[in-house]
Amino acid sequence: MRKVLFRAGRPAEVVEASVPVPGPGQLLVCTEAVGVGVGLVRMLEPGGAVRPGAEMVGTVVAAGPDSAGFEAGDRVGGVVFEDANAELVLADPRLVSHVPAKVDAAAALALVRGGLIALSALRAGRVAPGESVLVTAAASGTGHLAVQLAKALGAARVVAAAGSADKADFARQCGADEVVTYSQPSWGDPVDLVLDGVGGELSSAALTLWPRSAGWSPSAPAAAPSAPEACSPPAG
C-alpha cells in the first residue's frame, strides 16, 4: 500500500509500506478521503518526523477480534490517531460510525469531526426549541455545521459571526437568521447560548449578548437530528 511519510527535515513523500494487520478491537479500513487541517500544518511546522492522525472515510476490509458491529464491506467514517495519511489505516470501532453509501465522502468527512464537535457543544449547552444561538467562527469547518445543526435542533434564531462579509454570506447560505462581522459595533439582541470558536478578546464581545455572563472574564481561548444540507464555501 501507499502512505505519506513525514520525515524530519524533509518534504513529505509517498512511499510503499506494509499493510497493517488489525489486532483485537481494530478495523482495517481502505480510505476514500482523509482530512487535512490546521492541526497537521502546525505539526509539520517544527520540521520533525510525525505520524499524524486525522478524520477519514472508507470501507472496512478486515476486522480484528472484538470488533462487534462491523464487518468487511461496511462503509465507515471516524478518527484515527496515527498514520492516517495512507491507503489502509487501523481504526478503533469505538471511534467510527457507519456511513450510508449515498453520502458523498467529502460531506461525510466534514461531519466526522466538525459535526460531532458542533453537535456535542449544542447538546452540552442544552439548546431548546425556540431559543436563540450565537455562533462565532461561523464559516469554519465546525462553525458552519453548528449553524445548521442549531436550526435542526429547533433554534428559532441563529446569529452567525464571522471575520468578513464573504464569510458572513456563506453562513447565511447555511441557514443563519442573522449575520454579523467581528468589526461591527453591535452584534444584535441577546441570545440564550453562545458557541465561541475564536476565543481571546472576541469571547468578551460574544458574551455581551449572553445575559448570564455578567461578571465573567475570559482567561483562555475557548475550544471550539437531521443531517445538515450542503452549502458552498466562499471562493478562496
pLDDT in the model for residue 114:
87
Q: What is the pLDDT of residues 63-77, one digit of tens each?
A: 999 998 999 999 999
The pLDDT value recorded for residue 174 is: 96
pLDDT at residue 96, rounded to an integer: 93
For the record, the C-alpha cell of 234 comes out as 466562499
Residue of 116, 176, 168, 180 whose CA lies nearest to 142: 116
Mean per-residue pLDDT, 11-27 = 94
Task: Give dist(CA 87, CA 57) in Å, integer.
Answer: 11
For residues 28-51, average pLDDT: 84
- Please state, in angstroms and as integers, the Cα–Cα distance from residue 131 to each residue in 180, 202, 213, following that order: 19, 22, 17
Provide the pLDDT for residue 113: 83
Question: Which residue carries 460531532 as its cell?
Answer: 116
Condensed to tens digits (0 to 9), the pLDDT of residues 159-214 reads 999 999 999 999 999 999 999 999 998 898 999 999 999 988 888 888 888 876 44
The whole-angstrom separation of Cα 117 and Cα 107 is 15
SS3 per-residue string spanning 11-57: CCEEEECCCCCCCCCCEEEEEEEECCCHHHHHHHCCCCCECCCEEEE
Predicted confidence band of residue 215 (pLDDT cuts 50, 70, 90):
very low
Start-to-end C-alpha separation, the chain: 33
Contacts of 58 (CB under 8 A, 6+ apart): 29, 30, 31, 32, 33, 75, 76, 77, 89
Residue 229 has pLDDT above 70, yes or no: no
| Mean pLDDT of the region 19-29 | 95
> Is beta strand 96-98 parallel, antiparallel or unpaired with respect to 75-80?
antiparallel
pLDDT at 38: 75
